[in-house]
Amino acid sequence: MITSNSGLAVDIISLTTDVYDLAESLFWDPAAQRLVWIDAWRSCCFSLDTLTNDLARTDYASAIHGRPIGSVAKHGRGGLVSGIRGGFYHLGPENTQAKLLCEAEQDRPATNRLNDGKCDRAGRFWCASVNTDHKTPSGALWRLTEREVPQLMRDELIAGNGIAWSPDDAFLYLADTFVGKVWRYDFDLSSGEIDNEREFISLSRDEGGIDGATVDSNGCYWAALFRGGAVGQFDPDGKLMRRIELPVSDPTICAFGGPDLDVLFVASATRFLDESQRRSQPLAGTILAIHGANARGLPEPCFGVV
């Protein structure tokens, strides 16, 4: 039992015995009632039945030539849509099924890769890229539909992350982990256009960088605080409401799931820890479940399905 800084007690448990290098792109599939995530640099996807503990693993390393997977979302035609270094792919249920949809960022540094990605409620896949030197602002935000080439929506990011939408689709959120900021944009669901960028959240390095994020049914923005060892809940105006401390320093993304969408799941990484840090954080690199967050999420949309 852990008490957050709001005074509310939460239970935090680890769902996996496997330790992942960089677990990311966590989301709940309501149709299958399974939790989905990736191990980015190992080019693998996983799905877990949280009631039976049945774990499925699909290794795409051979099909995508060992390139890291940045993010995945459910594809309306089955399988997953994915942002991978160099392009967008349709990943099927078998290890060998990886179809290139379109190339991306061919003119950008070799250290760039596609990173955080999610679908909006009109079925578009939004994906932000990162420069893996963690200092050069050569990343961007892209918007992908089934019928168009990727559209550049925002440029000059170091590590694009934290993509989410308000429950009424009025706003889109975008973070840059290593700048310590989240921006809010006016969002037009019908056209997919964004406008009127303004700062939503600004954090110091000591507080942790905004990594993967989600929005609950009340419009609060929940973010994994990478290197901050916590999940932060921010109100619809960007004010920190609650900070839930975690037994890992490098959470990478959080997402609501479970039958009632009231469990907050958190993925984490070991990739950036030294041996001493790994020994002191035995749950680093596992998937965590937070019960008692007192919030409910929203269903994740599919790519290409309205």
Tens digit of each residue's pLDDT (9 = 90 or more) over 266-285: 999 999 999 999 999 999 99
Per-residue pLDDT reduced to its tens digit, 59-96? 999 999 999 999 999 999 999 999 999 999 999 999 99
| Whether domain 2-291 has CATH 2.120.10.30 | yes
CB count, 10 Å around CB of 81?
Answer: 26
pLDDT, residue 296, reads 98
| pLDDT tens digit sequence for 141-152 | 999 999 889 999
- Is residue 2 a contact partner of residue 10, using CB atoms and an 8 Å limit? yes
Residue 4 pLDDT class (50, 70, 90 cuts): very low
Q: Please indicate, yes or no, whether the overall pTM of this predicted structure exceeds 0.75.
A: yes
Residue 154: C-alpha distances to residues 44, 185, 191, 294 (Å): 28, 11, 16, 34
* Segment 196-217, tens digit of pLDDT: 999 999 999 999 999 999 999 9
pLDDT of 38 strictly over 80: yes
Residue 9: band (very low, low, confident or very high) from pLDDT cuts 50, 70, 90: confident
Closest CA to 175 of 223, 107, 135: 223
Position 6 pLDDT exceeds 70: no
Locate 95 and state its tokens: 């290890």
Helix or strand holding residue 18 (H, E) = none
The pLDDT of 164-183, averaged and rounded, is: 98
Decide if pLDDT at 7 tops 60: no
The pLDDT, as a whole number, for residue 148 is: 87
Edge-to-edge strand ranges of the sheet holding 69-74:
69-74, 80-84, 87-91, 98-103
Question: Would you state the pLDDT for residue 294?
Answer: 97
Q: How far is Cα 232 from Cα 222, in angstroms, rounded to an integer?
A: 6
pLDDT tens figures, 221-233? 999 999 999 999 9
Q: State percent of the chain over pLDDT 90.
A: 95
Assign 305 a pLDDT band (cuts: 50, 70, 90): low
